[in-house]
């Protein structure tokens, strides 16, 4: 049967079992929207901005394990996706993004709303392609979904010219696809694994360093079994956090420039570093040449290009995390690590990650979130709010954290929560954001209202772009350049401390919430945290903004100053310890 | 740092060349030359790429290329027996009669083919290795300073049989 490209598009999405489509209409996708009209299998979500749209699809994908699907128009619709595509791709989130395009005959003519989106996104997605012939459409969509979700997952962009959407052609959609240049690795190299296990079994001070790859592979249960079987302590990157319950006795903490002293010290002193699913990003390694200097490093990653890139590895293993962990479970033995664990426990006790203050702290807020929500998806924005969340959030098989780890995209948290709530209606969805980041996609409050999504938005309001301000305080002599969110025209441009005369904050988040039809609660005291969260939890019909007025100059501690080794940290303000 | 050679099989599609060259610029790899043409299978193109890098970067280059969906096969040509040739045109302008005589003599000695000429200008073709072509450029630039025009094709390579 002959059908239009648009009809084949809808058929393809149904075949790929897409249940939620994040879509914003426009001139060059009007045919596609026409084909979507009235169908019942897919819910079509209309966010308020394409950036919010793509982050929502990202949050949906991360929290459900399915592919997130976007549809936007050409030109500005497509360019508004760019940040979200880079965000998702950097964190290996499977997305398929469809963009409208001017008719093939007009491409290159600088037509209205024409951009070369394939060219623009080439370096920030896994694969990008323009459909140039109607007969290729089905095969290309099949390919897009296959590439997005296999191997190291990522973003695929499919550019759909208007004439392809209209053109009649075959209604067939392939069941299988074979791509000669793309064969994701499916097995574990036995010889390498044997060597790795041999080394692990002889270790005195071993650690597992676990990255986001294990969460992506959904190997959390197996990882827990492996840790318990071997008695080897587990350290995570930000993206790996939650891979085993954070309250587990073998869990040490996060590594990195805001990692815990215990985790960073354990990495520096371990004799075998068994890492799975991390790319040794510069945020976790500290000064080059000082990282895990005493250790034999074993590195498992699905992406060969991640291995021996920043850190020289002794035993590289290219494998999917889950397959590698299965192989390990077969051969690994219980190690006597009691003394090593005791040493780590002492580091933990000596320098715990905690905030001491007479005021309400982000730690108080996050601990209350831990206490109240038992089945939840928690999204973070980027900056101090994110770092505090990674320090204090309790995660386990019922609680997942979504955060923009690789790209560090402000404005990610709230729209991602919309996607997470759509994908997990039975779970509580909480956003931990700052006053800066929340304003980057605040328009999505309307989306949360119209789809009746009771998301709880916790804004940690310190009136600063706090993470940059912290760096300015610690490393730039308190020159608070463009980081004060309460700055007004009347202020001294060289002001470097908050005071009583500071202008009022704008916007008023409570009134803002109300204007959208959401609830707004302002919290200024520690005692009011739990009642506010409970009230928000009871609101099942609309989102709730809780604005927490926190100390203006609270810092994220500890921190590894730039150029220092991992265990050479500033532990508290004004105190440096080795 | 060392000069390296890669032979690359890629999909013969729009945008693949941009993808490959963009990978080099985006990741600051030092690309020396890149040639591309279709193969016996018209859906596949083959590129010959030369670059200068240390061992670690070169490993990354190969891995990154392999990672691209459009790349079918990456072959390291650096230390294997290959035939490598580059086409180069040398045009020499504003010649006197004496210059022309000298030119033709040089062409004969160095085995360059004169493919076109008139009274004052001659065009030669050199199909040689990149290194020999480099020598010719120097030679002609010295002999006919500011009067030469060079067009180089970049090297193409194929595995040796013996």
Q: What is the pLDDT of residues A183-214, one digit of tens each?
A: 998 788 889 999 999 999 999 999 999 999 99
Give the pLDDT mean for A163-168.
98
DSSP string, B78-147: TTS-EEEEEEEEEEE-S--HHHHHHHHHHHHHTTPEEEEE-SS-EEEEEEE-HHHHHHHHHHHHHHTTT-
Note the ipTM here.
Answer: 0.92
User: Is B62 at the interface with chain A, CB within 8 A?
Assistant: no
Contact yes or no for A337/A206 (Cβ under 8 A): yes
| Residue B125 touches chain A, beta carbons under 8 Å | no
On the question of a common fold for A2-170 and A190-350, the answer reads yes
Integer Cα distance of A214 and A184 in angstroms? 17
Query: In this prediction, what percent of chain A has a pLDDT beyond 90?
Result: 93
Q: Taking residues A441-452, what's their average pLDDT?
A: 98
pLDDT tens-digit map of A99-123 = 999 999 999 999 999 999 999 999 9
Alpha carbon of A414: minimum distance to chain B alpha carbons (Å): 31
Distance (Å, whole) CA A216 – CA A65: 8
The architecture (CATH level 2) of B2-80 comes to 2-Layer Sandwich (3.30)
Burial of A334 (0-12, 13-18, 19+ CB in 10 A): exposed
With an 8 Å Cβ cutoff, are B69 and A119 in contact?
no
CA–CA separation, A235 vs A209, rounded Å? 5
Find the residue in A nearest to B11 (Cα). Answer: A181
CA distance B56 to A310: 10
Kindly report the backbone phi and psi dihedral angles of residue A147, in degrees, each rounded to the nearest multiple of 5, phi listed first.
-70, -40
CB contact under 8 A, B10 and A181: yes
pLDDT attached to residue A573: 66
Measured in angstroms, the CA of B60 and the nearest CA of chain A are apart by: 6
Whole-number Å distance between alpha carbons of B104 and B113 = 9
| pLDDT given for residue A572 in this prediction | 81
Nearest residue to A151 (alpha-carbon basis) of A186, A192, A187: A186
Say yes or no to pLDDT of A578 above 50: no
- Residue B133 burial (CB count, 10 A): 21
Q: What is the pLDDT of residue A395?
A: 98
Phi, psi of A257 (to 5 degrees): -65, -20
- Establish if B75 touches chain A: CB-CB under 8 angstroms: no
Q: Do B18 and A179 touch (CB under 8 A)?
A: no
Report residue B120: phi and psi, to 5°: -120, -10
Number of continuous H segments (helices) and E segments (strands) in chain A: 22, 22
**Of B11, B22, B56, Cβ closest to residue A181:** B11
Chain A residues close to B11, C-beta within 8 Å: 181
Strand-pairing partners, residue A428, are A376
CATH code, residues B83-159:
3.30.70.1150
B63, B70, B75: best to mutate for the A interface, most A CBs within 10 A? B63
Q: What is the pLDDT along chain B (162 residues), one digit of tens a residue?
A: 999 999 999 999 999 999 999 999 999 999 999 999 999 999 999 999 999 999 999 999 999 999 999 999 999 999 999 999 999 999 999 999 999 999 999 999 999 999 999 999 999 999 999 999 999 999 999 999 999 999 999 999 999 998
Q: Does B66 touch chain A (CB under 8 A)?
A: yes
Instruction: Tell me what pLDDT residue A308 has.
Output: 87
Partners of residue B22 in chain A, C-beta under 8 Å: 122-123
Residues of chain B contacting residue A308, judged by C-beta atoms under 8 Å apart:
56, 59
The arrangement of strands across the sheet holding B122-128 comes to B113-117, B122-128, B82-92, B148-159
Q: Which residues pair with A429 in a beta bridge?
A: A377
CA distance A285 to A264: 9
Cα–Cα distance between A284 and A304 in angstroms, integer? 19
How far apart (Å, rounded) are the C-alpha atoms in residues B55 and B44? 28
Averaged confidence pLDDT in chain A: 96
Interface test with B, best of A139, A179, A181 (most B CBs within 10 A): A181
What's the CATH number for A362-549? 3.40.50.970
Residue B25 forms contact with A (CB below 8 Å):
no
* C-beta atoms of A122 and B19 within 8 A: yes
For A366-423, the pLDDT digits (tens) are 999 999 999 999 999 999 999 999 999 999 999 999 999 999 999 999 999 999 999 9
Q: What CATH number labels A190-350?
A: 3.40.50.1220
Residue A507 has pLDDT above 60, yes or no: yes
Q: Is B78 on the interface with A (CB under 8 A)?
A: no
Cross-chain residue pair B15–A122, CB shorter than 8 Å: yes
Inter-chain CB proximity B15 and A308 less than 8 Å: no
Q: Is B55 on the interface with A (CB under 8 A)?
A: no
Q: What is the DSSP letter of A559?
A: B
Which of A123, A147, A308 comes nearest B26 by C-beta?
Answer: A123
| Domain limits, CATH 3.30.70.260, in chain B | 2-80
Kindly state whether B28 is in contact with chain A, defined as any CB-CB distance less than 8 angstroms. no
> How many interface pairs between A and B have CB atoms less than 8 angstroms apart?
41
Extents of the domains making up chain A:
2-170, 190-350, 362-549
Q: Do A119 and B18 touch (CB under 8 A)?
A: yes
More confident residue, A573 or A264: A264
- Of residues B18, B60, B71, nearest to A181 (C-beta): B71
Residue A576: per-residue pLDDT = 37
DSSP helix/strand/coil, A345: helix
Q: Give CA–CA dist A511/A515, Å, rounded.
A: 6
pLDDT score, position A187: 85
How far does the CA of residue A320 sit from the closest CA of chain B (Å)? Answer: 15
Kind of pairing between the strands at A43-45 and A68-72 = unpaired
Model pLDDT, residue A286 = 87
Kindly state whether B15 is in contact with chain A, defined as any CB-CB distance less than 8 angstroms: yes
What separation in angstroms does the CA of A355 have from each of A300, A529, A551, A554? 35, 16, 11, 9
Helix or strand or coil: residue A403?
coil
Query: Would you say residue A2 has pLDDT above 60?
Result: yes
- Interface contact flag, A123 B23, Cβ < 8 Å: yes
- Amino acid B12: pLDDT: 97
The alpha carbon of residue B119 is apart from the nearest alpha carbon of chain A, in Å, by: 44
For residues A310 and A117, the model is more confident at A117
pLDDT of A575 strictly over 60:
no
φ, ψ of residue A529 to 5 degrees: the values are -65, -55
Class of domain A2-170: alpha beta
Mean pLDDT over A291-319 rounds to 93
Residue of B nearest to A117 (CA): B15
B96 touches chain A (CB under 8 A): no
Give chain A positions within 8 Å (CB) of B57: none
Using the Cβ of B79 and the Cβ atoms of chain A, whether some distance falls under 8 Å is answered with no
Cβ distance of B11 and A127 shorter than 8 Å? no
Write down the pLDDT at residue A310: 87
Q: How confident is the model at residue A574 (pLDDT cuts 50, 70, 90)?
A: low
Confidence at residue A282, expressed as pLDDT on a 0 to 100 scale: 87
Q: Contact A122/B22, CB-based, under 8 Å? A: yes
Q: Are B71 and A122 inside 8 Å of each other by CB?
A: no
């Amino acid at each position: 049967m002959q059908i239009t490209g648009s009809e084949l598009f809808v058929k393809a999405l149904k075949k790929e079992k897409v249940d939620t489509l994040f879509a914003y209409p426009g001139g060059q996708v009007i045919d596609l929207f026409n084909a979507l009209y009235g169908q019942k299998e897919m819910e079509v979500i209309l966010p308020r901005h394409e950036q919010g749209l793509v982050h929502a699809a990202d949050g949906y994908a991360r929290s459900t394990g399915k592919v997130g699907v976007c549809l936007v128009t050409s030109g500005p619709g497509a360019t508004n996706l760019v940040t979200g595509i880079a965000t998702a791709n950097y964190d290996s989130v499977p997305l398929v993004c469809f963009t409208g395009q001017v008719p093939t005959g007009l491409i290159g003519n600088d037509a209205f709303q024409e951009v070369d989106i394939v060219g623009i996104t080439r370096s920030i997605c896994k694969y990008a392609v323009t459909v140039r012939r109607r007969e290729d459409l089905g095969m290309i969509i099949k390919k897009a979904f296959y590439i997005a979700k296999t191997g190291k997952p990522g973003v695929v962009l499919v550019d759909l010219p208007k004439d392809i959407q209209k053109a009649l052609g075959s209604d067939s959609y392939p069941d299988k696809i074979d791509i000669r240049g793309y064969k994701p690795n499916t097995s574990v190299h036995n010889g390498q694994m044997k060597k790795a296990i041999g080394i692990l079994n002889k270790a005195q001070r071993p650690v597992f360093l676990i990255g986001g790859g294990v969460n992506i592979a959904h190997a959390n249960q197996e990882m827990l079994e492996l840790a318990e079987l071997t008695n080897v302590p587990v350290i995570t990157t930000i993206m790996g956090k939650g891979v085993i319950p954070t309250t587990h006795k073998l869990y040490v903490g996060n590594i990195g420039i805001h990692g815990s002293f215990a985790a960073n010290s354990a990495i520096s002193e371990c004799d075998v570093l068994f890492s799975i699913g991390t790319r040794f990003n510069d945020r976790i390694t500290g000064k080059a040449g000082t990282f895990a200097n005493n250790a034999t490093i074993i590195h498992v990653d699905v992406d060969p290009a991640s291995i021996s890139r920043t850190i020289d590895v002794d035993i590289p293993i290219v494998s999917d995390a889950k397959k590698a962990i299965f192989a390990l479970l077969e051969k690994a033995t219980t190690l006597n690590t009691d003394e090593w664990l005791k040493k780590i426990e002492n580091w933990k006790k000596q320098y715990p990650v905690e905030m001491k203050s007479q005021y309400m702290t982000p730690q108080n807020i996050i601990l209350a979130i831990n206490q109240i929500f038992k089945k939840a998806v928690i999204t973070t924005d980027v900056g101090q709010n994110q770092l505090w969340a990674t320090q204090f959030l309790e995660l386990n098989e019922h609680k997942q954290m979504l955060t923009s780890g690789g790209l560090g995209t402000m404005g990610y948290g709230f729209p991602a929560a919309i996607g997470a709530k759509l994908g997990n209606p039975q779970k509580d969805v909480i956003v931990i954001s700052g006053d800066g980041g929340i304003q980057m996609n605040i328009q999505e409050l309307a989306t949360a209202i119209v789809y009746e999504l009771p998301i709880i938005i916790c804004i940690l309001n310190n009136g600063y772009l706090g993470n940059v301000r912290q760096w300015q305080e610690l490393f730039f002599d308190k020159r608070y350049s463009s980081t004060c969110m309460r700055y007004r025209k009347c202020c001294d441009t060289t002001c470097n401390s908050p005071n009583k005369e500071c202008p009022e904050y704008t916007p008023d988040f409570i009134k803002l919430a109300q204007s959208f039809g959401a609830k707004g609660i302002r919290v200024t005291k520690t005692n009011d945290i739990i009642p506010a969260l409970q009230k928000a939890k009871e609101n099942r019909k609309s989102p709730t903004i809780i604005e927490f007025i926190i100390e203006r100059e609270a810092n994220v501690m500890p921190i590894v100053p730039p150029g220092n080794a991992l265990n050479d940290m500033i532990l508290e303000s004004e105190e440096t310890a080795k | 740092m060392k000069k390296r050679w890669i032979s690359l099989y890629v999909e013969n599609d729009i945008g693949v060349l941009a993808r490959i060259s963009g990978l080099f610029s985006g990741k600051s790899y030092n690309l020396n030359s890149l040639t591309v043409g279709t193969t016996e299978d018209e859906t596949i193109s083959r590129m010959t790429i030369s670059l200068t890098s240390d061992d670690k970067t070169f490993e990354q280059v190969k891995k990154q290329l392999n990672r691209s969906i459009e790349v079918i096969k990456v072959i390291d040509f650096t230390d294997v027996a290959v035939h490598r040739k580059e086409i180069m045109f040398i045009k020499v302008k504003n010649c006197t009669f004496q210059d022309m005589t000298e030119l033709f003599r040089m062409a004969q000695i160095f085995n360059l083919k004169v493919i076109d000429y008139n009274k004052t200008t001659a065009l030669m073709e050199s199909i040689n290795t990149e290194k020999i072509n480099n020598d010719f450029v120097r030679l002609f630039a010295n002999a006919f300073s500011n009067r030469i025009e060079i067009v180089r094709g970049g090297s193409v390579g194929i595995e040796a049989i013996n």
